[in-house]
């Protein structure tokens, strides 16, 4: 089952707005669910597990294709049997709604 956030358009933040915080951030994180965390409320991150390195690398490639298509580029770390995706809006130094939408779309890749 997909998260309703995944159905929203991922509109890149142009800057000039404050990062999400407080109840707004907590509500979006709860809606996103599925193992995503927001350390210090500054970024979203999730570790994805795979049978081996090739599967993790293939996942990272698909996330990269998604990122290029949406003009929203996460940090992706690939290691044996896992990939970690970290998302935040660089222009505001924190989280925007687009980060949550992007994260939900990443989850669709493996669902």
pTM of the predicted protein model: 0.91
Tell me the longest C-alpha to C-alpha distance in the chain: 42
User: What are the residue ranges spanned by the domains of the chain?
Assistant: 40-111
Asked if 87 contacts 10 with a C-beta cutoff of 8 angstroms, the reply is: no
CATH number assigned to the domain covering 40-111: 3.30.1360.20
Residues 3-29 have pLDDT tens digits of: 688 887 776 667 778 999 999 999 999
Alpha helices in 1-111 (DSSP H): 22-32, 53-70, 97-110
pLDDT score, position 12: 66
Span 35-56, average pLDDT: 97
Span 70-84, average pLDDT: 96
> With DSSP H G I counted as helix, E B as strand and the rest as coil, what are the percentages for the chain, rounded to 5?
50, 20, 35
């Amino acid at each position: 089952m997909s998260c309703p956030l995944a159905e929203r358009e991922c509109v890149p933040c142009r800057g000039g707005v404050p990062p999400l915080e407080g109840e707004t951030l907590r509500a979006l994180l709860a809606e996103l669910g599925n193992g995503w965390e927001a350390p210090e409320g500054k970024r979203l991150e999730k570790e994805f597990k795979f049978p081996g390195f090739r599967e993790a690398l293939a996942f990272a490639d698909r996330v990269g294709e998604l990122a290029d298509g949406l003009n929203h580029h996460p940090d992706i770390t690939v290691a044996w049997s896992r990939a970690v995706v970290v998302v935040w809006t660089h222009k505001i130094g924190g989280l925007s709604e687009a980060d949550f939408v992007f994260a939900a779309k990443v989850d669709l890749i493996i669902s």
